[in-house]
Structures are given as C-alpha cells and as structure tokens.
Amino acid sequence: MTCLSGGAGKRRVVISGMGAVSAAGVGAEKLWVAARDGIAQIRALVTERPYERRIRIAAQVPDFDPADYIEPELVPYCDPFTRFSIAAADEAMANAGFGRKDIAGPRTGVIIGTGIGGMTTIENGIYRFYNGSGRPDPFSVPRLIPSAAPTTLGMRYSCTGPTFAIGSACSSASQALGVGMQMIRFGLIDRAIVGGTEACVINATICAWEGLRVLTPDRCRPFSKGRNGMTLGEGAAVFIIETLDAAWARGHTPLCEFAGYGTTSDAKDPVRPDVVEVTNAMTLALTDAGMEPRDIDYLNAHGTATHANDIAEAEAIGRVFGDYAARLPVSSTKPVHGHALGASAGLELAIAISALRDQIAPPTINFLEADPRCPIDAIPNVARSVPMRAVMSNSFAFGGINAVLIVRSLEGRGAHGC
C-alpha cells in the first residue's frame, strides 16, 4: 500500500469512536451484525396517521424511547432526528474514551449532516394548522431547523468550536465527515463530532418519494436484475475524529485512520447521476489519501437499487479501478438498513469500518442475477472474508452532489509514519 506521510502542513486524522441508531436498533454493533449477516431490517410501515398509498414498508428504528437516552427536560426540544443523533453521539463518545465534558471548548467542532431536518415536527405542525387543532407548538422552530442536531450536541458536550449542519441530501453525512477532517488536518480545530441523522419515515415524505417512482413495494436489490427501487430508512451515525497524535497521547487506540475525502458536483441534472463527476469524486478521494485504486480492498457502494444510479455507479467504478474493478469486492447495504437519506453515508461508513476491523465484506442481499450493465463483484447474498487494509464508501446525492470517503487500518503504523 502507498505510504502517506500526511503532506506538508497536514495532520493525520483518525476515527476514535462511532455510534449508530438504525433499523437494527441502538448501537453500531447491532447495525454491523445485521449488515454482516444479511438480515434485512425492513418491516411493515408504522405511522402516526394512516397511510393508504402503495408503499407499506420502511426501515424504521424500532422501540426507540427517548427517555432511555435523553434527560426528560431536553426531550421536548428535540425532534426525532435530533434524538437519534444524541443516542449515536453518546455511544461514539464512550467508544472514543471520552466523558461528556472531556472535549469541551473551542478546539472541538460539531458538524452533522441531514437531508431534511425536523420533518416530523414540520408535518405535525402543518397537520395541526390545517385541521385547526389549537395553538402553535412553541418548540416547533427550535426542533425543526437542521442545525438543531449539531447545536444540541454542542451544548451537550460544551463544544464551542465551529458548529453547523450540512444539508446535501444523501451525501450530507459524508460531507460533514470530510469537512471536519479537513478542518482538523489544517489546524482549525483539534477534534470534531461528525456524522449524519435523519427521521423522515412519515406520511408526507413517503408520499413525495412515491411520486418520484423510486421506491420498491417489496425488496431492494442493488446491482441485480429485477431491481425496482429503494426503501426509505432512518437513523443516525456519529463519529469522533481527532489527530492521530492526540489519540496516541491519551493512550487511545483509534478505530482507523480517516485517510481520504473527495467531493464533486455534477452541475447537470436534479436527479440523474453523471458518470464523469462520480468518477472524479472517487479519484479525488484516492488522491487525497495518497493511494492507488488497487490499495482499496472493499467498496461500500451508494447502491440505491434504482435503474440509473446503479448503472452509473458501476460504470464509474470501472473507470476508476480499470481491470481491478471485476475483482474488487463491492456491496450495497441499503437493503438492510434502508436509504436513510442524510444519515445513510454515516451508517454505511460505520459498516465499512466494522468490515475493516473484522476483515469481512458484508453482502448485497436480495440479489437475484447479475446485471451485465453493472459489471462489478457485488458480493451477492453471503458475506465474504476479505483481507483489508483500506475501504472506500460512496455517496451520491440528488442535485449531483458526490462524496467519497476512505478509511484504512492503522495496524503496523507508528504515530509518525508508516
């Protein structure tokens, strides 16, 4: 593998802890077990008000009682998307070896991505308004704004550094991670709480996605013949990132090195991906990491199981990896945890990190037959043992916003070199 010294002026960044809330439940390990074992977490749709349209399934977080994770005085201020982020962040902090106030102060940033923000609060407020159901909820505005998640986390851990939300649709979490990594690299901050969160499996959102004709009524089958769309999901994934030197100095062993980030914009179409810029995003991430295509041992694909997206992503993989593309293990885990929009990239990175740790590539479940228009090794249906030192995670959003992350093992690396 190509050795990265970090470049002049750049500090090496590591992921020291992670936490997740998903349709598999609360905990990054629950998410990983479901992905590794190919156990779909897509169930019959449950909504507060009846939903009588075609799509009746979703990957919803089961049995989430905010009182189990959040102080009662804080709960009224938090839309479900913020509640999910708190539970995930608390796990990430503990996993990184930090107490609640250990990273307080101006050298810690908080950057959280979300595609929509407080959609539950928005829908409930509109429903009450048009039904004449009494006075407005005074907590609506602080709950629904996309910045509610990062600001709440900032208050929770007393972080006074740069704090903001990123709203880049399905690339939101990846861009939050990438921006945080770059800020640490160049000394603007020393550590950051980063990730993505989403809670939008509600009537209005499902109806809107039905209108796009991209939701499957039965099974999500990325890269497979017979695929007919994706399934909506929800959840959160949060990561603690810091300099490698800082982690070693406090005696903590990081999960992995955060090696590369690439992002591009198609600037062409609101919904159809552009192969050129998807390719460029992967190439930029490799360049940023100082790596060659053959250094990547596993790729967690965007893999939505929509016709155009899967073909475009497979073609881009071929352009980047050349002859190696046919042998590179690739999978989409969206059939397990659903497409959680602004949280998806975070959930998928958590799975990729676990895959790197356990040297197991999770499968693409529900796979029927290879599609010749997607000539990749999609790891159909059964996980595979794969020697890994570096993995890539792709996210490609509506509006043509592409973001790619690379993480790699620190095994055999010292604090100051390869």
Catalytic positions are: 170, 302, 339
Which helix (H) or strand (E) segment holds residue 233: the answer is: none
Coil, strand, or helix at residue 30? helix
Cα separation of the two ends of the chain: 10
Q: Is residue 359 within 8 Å of 384, Cβ to Cβ?
A: no
Q: Is residue 112 within 8 Å of 153, Cβ to Cβ?
A: yes
Phi, psi of 179 (to 5 degrees): -65, -45
Give me the half-sphere count of Cα atoms (radius 13 Å) on the Cβ side of residue 151: 12
Q: Is residue 409 within 8 Å of 390, Cβ to Cβ?
A: yes
- Exposed e or buried b per residue across 155-189, where buried means at least 16 C-beta atoms within 10 angstroms of its C-beta: ebbebebbbebbbbbbbbbbbbbbbbbebbbeeeb
Helix/strand number for the chain, H first, E second: 12, 15
**Residue 16 to residue 251: CA distance in whole angstroms:** 11
Q: Is residue 337 within 8 Å of 37, Cβ to Cβ?
A: no
Query: Which residues, 6+ apart, have CB-to-CB distance to 169 below 8 Å?
Result: 115, 341, 342, 397, 398, 399, 401
**Residue 116 to residue 143: CA distance in whole angstroms:** 12
CA of residue 186 relative to chain centroid, distance: 24
Q: Which whole-number Å values give the CA distances from 145 to 76, 136, 151, 252, 355, in the listed order?
A: 14, 16, 10, 35, 34
Coil, strand, or helix at residue 275? helix
